[in-house]
């Protein structure tokens, strides 16, 4: 799964460069910096949760361009997709913890068909690392 995510990230990076796509937020944005500074397990848990939220809320999309750009910068310092394979178990554990924490914080059921828009709105207001990968539509 992690290897596949790395390959997808590389493919997205190439397509983003070829198409000249821009992330919704600049790299120096506070929320983006929070995302960049997460540990590798926290980063993958956060981006995975962001993707899930975008699937369960029509008001937000996932900023895959930003994800690729941040991952490339994280790879430069040894904390990106290239280091993720060795941390697969830690990433799986952190993903579970992050989802449970998010569900408890916002009072949502992640396994149900709950609309996660109100929870996403809360993350946007907070300016969390998670909010960095969510684009309001």
Tens of pLDDT, residues 80-94: 888 888 999 999 999
End-to-end alpha-carbon separation of the chain, Å?
A: 29
Tens digit of each residue's pLDDT (9 = 90 or more) over 16-66? 444 568 888 999 999 999 999 999 999 999 999 999 999 999 999 999 999
The answer to whether 45 and 97 have CB atoms below 8 angstroms apart is yes
CA distances from 63 to 47, 85, 92, 93, 108 (A): 9, 23, 22, 24, 22
For residues 114 and 112, what is the distance between their CA atoms, to the nearest angstrom?
Answer: 5
pLDDT confidence of residue 4: 53
pTM metric for this prediction: 0.83
Here the contacts of 37-43 (C-beta below 8 Å, separation 24 or greater) are 38/129, 39/79, 39/94, 40/74, 40/79, 40/80, 40/83, 40/84, 40/87, 40/90, 40/91, 41/87, 41/90, 41/91, 41/93, 41/94, 41/95, 42/94, 42/98, 42/129, 43/70, 43/74, 43/79
CA atoms within 13 A on the CB side of 125: 6
């Amino acid at each position: 799964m992690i290897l596949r995510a790395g390959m997808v990230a590389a493919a997205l990076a190439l397509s983003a460069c070829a198409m000249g796509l821009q992330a919704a937020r600049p790299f120096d944005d506070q929320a983006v910096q929070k995302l960049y500074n997460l540990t590798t397990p926290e980063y993958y848990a956060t981006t995975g949760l962001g993707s899930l939220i975008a699937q369960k809320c029509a008001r937000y999309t996932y900023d895959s361009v930003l994800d690729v750009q941040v991952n490339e910068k994280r790879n430069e310092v040894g904390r990106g997709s290239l280091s993720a394979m060795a941390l697969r178990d830690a990433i799986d554990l952190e993903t579970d913890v992050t989802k449970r924490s998010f569900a408890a914080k916002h009072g949502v059921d992640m396994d149900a068909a709950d609309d996660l828009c109100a929870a996403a709105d809360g993350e946007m207001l907070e300016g969390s690392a998670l909010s960095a990968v969510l684009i309001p539509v």
